[in-house]
Amino acid sequence: MTEQSLFQDVIRKRRSVRKFEAGRSVSRAALERIVDCGRWAPSGANVQCFDFIVVDDPELRTSVMDIFLQQAQRLVDHAKGFPAVKKTYMANTVAIIIVLGDPRWKVCFPQSTTSEFDAEYQENNEAIFLCSLGAAVQNVQLGVAAEGLTSAWLSGGGEETTNAQLASLLGYPEWMCAYGTVPIGYPSVSQDRRYRRPLDQCLHWNGFNSSQYRSHEQVDFYESTVRPFAMYRDHESMLDWPDAKEKLGDWLPAFTTAQSNPDEQLQAEADFSSPRVQGRATRRRDRDQ
C-alpha cells in the first residue's frame, strides 16, 4: 500500500463505534502514540489549547462511564427526539481519553483594538478555539483507528453538568471543559461504513454550485425523519438501504446525487434555532411533553 492509500484507509476506518469487545486491554505505548497524534493537531496561534486525560484505570473508567450514562439519561429526559444511544455504549472500553479545552488561550488570538469590532473578534476567537479542539479530537480518533482500535466522539462532556462532574472526578479546574470524550476499545461489531453525501455533491470547483445546495426543507427532513438512520446505519449510500424509497420518498435524489437542488434557487437565511417541522422526532417530543 502507498502512504496515500494507507492514510485514506485510516480516514475511512475512523468510525464511531459504541460497542466494544469485553476482556481486552491496550498498552500504554499505544495510548501514548494516540495522544501524540492529538498533540500534533494544528491550533490557532499554535496555542495548543488542549490537554488529554487518559483514563486507563478500570475503576475510574467505570466512574467516567457512570457520568456519561447520567448524561445520556438527561438527553432522554430533556432533549427528546434525539436518537438515543444504548445504555451499554461505554462498556468494555480499554481506555477513555478526555480532550480538555483551556479557554484562557483565546487571548492569544486576534483581539479587537476598537470597541466596534469587539463582537466580531470575540466570535472569531471562539471559532478558532473550538476548531482547534476539533482538530485535536479528530487527530486522537485517527490515532485510535491507526492502532486498529475504535472510538466515538462524545460531546456530552461539553455540557455544564457533565463537565462539572468530570472536573470533580478527574481533578481539573471546572473552567476547563471536556469538549471531546473518546471511549476507546476493540469493536465488537464491524462498522466500516456510514452515510456520506456523494463527493460530487459536497465538492464545489471554483465557487459554490447552487445545484449542490441543500434546501431548508432538506435540513428539516433530515432532522425530522432521516437522522437516526443516517447516524447509525452501516451504508455509505442511502441507495443501499433496502427501504430507501420508503424512508426517503421524493427526497432520495437530494441525498444520493450531486443534484440536491436542481432548480438552483438559493434561499434567504432562516431561523433554525429549533426544529421547524413535524416528523418522527418532533412527534416524540410533543407526545412526551
Q: Which helix (H) or strand (E) holds 37?
A: helix 28-39
Residue 180: DSSP 8-state:
E
Separation CA 63–CA 166 (nearest Å): 9
Looking at the Cβ atoms of 216 and 233, the one nearer to ligand FMN is 233
Q: How many of the other CB atoms lie within 10 Å of CB of 85?
A: 20
Asked if 227 is part of the footprint of ligand FMN (rule: CB under 6 A), the reply reads: no
Asked if 38 is part of the footprint of ligand FMN (rule: CB under 6 A), the reply reads: no
Looking at the Cβ atoms of 213 and 229, the one nearer to ligand FMN is 229
Instruction: Name which position in 6, 119, 231, 270 contacts ligand FMN (CB under 6 A).
Output: 231
Asked if 143 is part of the footprint of ligand FMN (rule: CB under 6 A), the reply reads: no
Instruction: Name which position in 26, 31, 85, 128 contacts ligand FMN (CB under 6 A).
Output: 85
Q: How many of the other CB atoms lie within 10 Å of CB of 280?
A: 15
Looking at the Cβ atoms of 94 and 261, the one nearer to ligand FMN is 94
Q: Which helix (H) or strand (E) holds 254?
A: helix 252-256
Q: Which stretch binds ligand FMN (CB under 6 A): 28-36, 154-162, 258-266, 268-276?
A: 154-162
Non-local CB neighbours of 6 within 8 Å, separated by 6+ positions: none
Contact track, ligand FMN, 5-24, x by CB under 6 A? ----------xx-x------
Strand order of the β-sheet with 95-101 is: 50-55, 95-101, 177-185, 150-151
Residue type, 44: G
Shortest spacing between CB 69 and ligand FMN, in angstroms? 12
Asked if 154 is part of the footprint of ligand FMN (rule: CB under 6 A), the reply reads: yes
Positions in the binding site for ligand FMN (CB under 6 A):
15-16, 18, 85, 152-156, 194, 231
